[in-house]
């Protein structure tokens, strides 16, 4: 077997391309990491087939062979070869840290990004600092997700010149359940970004200051929050809903309750009678009760509202409910 491998390695230099290709296939069949060095010259071959097979060899045996083998790829003049080497940094683990740090200085942004991802497994805080201060936005984004990045750095990341980096910093802040100045969240809302995560975080961690954010919201934010509530809140006993009501986010809660059944009637009528909620949203809640207009509870509350409201839209909705109740003999 060793003799066969030796002959195949020698034939990689043969003038006849057919013999060279057979030699490549033979070496792969034997699956011996010791042959990797023989593939190194093929990285510079004029024939793309041999270059691709050389890269396959490094993908197969490079990590097993260690950092020196991967360094061959990372220092190559061919960009595709360097990118292939960058892909092998993460499997190297700790022994690939120094190589990855060096790869961060590569002129190619893709190599830089792949190196940064490989460094997510490094525990050193200094590594995280290298990532978050890199000139490449993509590298800084990865740095914001590094386990060792400091809270101070994340807070600064919220003001990064790059929008995508700011979003990455905000995501890490929320994942770590860090405290953050409410003022730092306002620019995101004013730009119409990250509204749902911000409002959910504020409702849980700073409910008393939730109202400070409502003035910066856009109509689409209420819709997005309402849609989120439908998938995360099962009933009105959830403290989150109370926090949102107290914070003035009534429209989002109304969008949730309009899809609920009779068990949520107390909250439904609370919103219908709340002057802080836009009259159109209040009338929608009323109109949704048309199929239950004959129920005693709905009749009683409809009459009370009809007698007290001065809003024309609500009066019309109440009349429609009364008519519907009459038609079914209630």
pLDDT digits (tens, 9 = 90+) for 195-214: 999 999 999 888 998 999 98
pLDDT at 258 over 90: yes
Report yes or no on whether pTM surpasses 0.85: no
pLDDT for 152 equals: 94
List the CATH code of the domain at 1-65: 1.25.10
Side-chain half-sphere CA neighbours of 187 within 13 A = 10
Residue 143: is it exposed, middle or buried by C-beta count within 10 angstroms (0-12/13-18/19+)? buried
Phi-psi bin for 197: left (phi > 0), alpha (psi -120 to 50), beta?
alpha
Closest by Cα among 179, 184, 104, 171 to 144 = 171
- Whole-number Å distance between alpha carbons of 217 and 286: 25
- Whole-number Å distance between alpha carbons of 266 and 274: 12
pLDDT at 85 over 70: yes
pLDDT for 59 equals: 97
Domains of the chain by residue range: 1-65, 193-257
pLDDT tens figures, 102-133: 999 999 999 999 999 999 999 899 999 999 99
């Amino acid at each position: 077997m060793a003799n066969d491998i030796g002959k195949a390695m020698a034939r990689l230099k043969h003038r006849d391309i057919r013999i060279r290709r057979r030699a490549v296939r033979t070496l792969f069949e034997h699956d011996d990491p010791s042959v990797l060095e023989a593939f190194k010259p093929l990285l510079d071959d004029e024939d793309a087939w041999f270059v691709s097979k050389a890269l396959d060899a490094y993908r197969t045996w490079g990590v097993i062979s260690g950092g020196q083998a991967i360094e061959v790829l990372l220092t190559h003049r061919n960009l595709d070869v360097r990118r292939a080497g960058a892909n092998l940094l993460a499997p190297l683990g700790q022994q690939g840290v120094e190589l990855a740090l060096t790869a961060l200085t590569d002129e190619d942004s893709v190599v830089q990004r792949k190196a940064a991802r490989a460094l997510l497994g490094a525990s050193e805080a200094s590594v995280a600092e290298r990532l978050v201060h890199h000139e490449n936005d993509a590298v800084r984004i990865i740095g914001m997700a590094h386990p060792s990045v400091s809270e101070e750095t994340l807070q600064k990341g919220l003001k990064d010149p790059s929008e995508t980096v700011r979003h990455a910093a905000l995501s890490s802040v929320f994942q770590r359940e860090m405290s953050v100045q409410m003022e730092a969240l306002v620019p995101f809302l004013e730009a119409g970004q990250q509204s749902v995560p911000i409002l959910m975080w504020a409702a849980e961690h700073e409910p008393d200051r939730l109202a400070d954010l409502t003035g910066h919201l856009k109509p689409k934010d209420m819709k997005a929050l309402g849609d989120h509530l439908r998938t995360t809140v099962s009933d009105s006993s959830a403290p989150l809903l109370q926090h949102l009501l107290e914070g003035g986010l009534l429209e989002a809660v109304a969008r949730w309750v309009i899809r609920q059944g009779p068990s949520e009637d107390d909250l439904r009528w609370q919103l219908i009678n709340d002057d802080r909620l836009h009259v159109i949203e209040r009338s929608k809640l009323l109109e949704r009760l048309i199929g239950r207009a004959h129920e005693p509870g709905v009749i009683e509350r409809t009459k009370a509202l009809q007698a007290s409201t001065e809003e024309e839209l609500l009066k019309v909705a109440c009349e429609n409910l009364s008519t519907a109740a009459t038609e079914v003999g209630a």
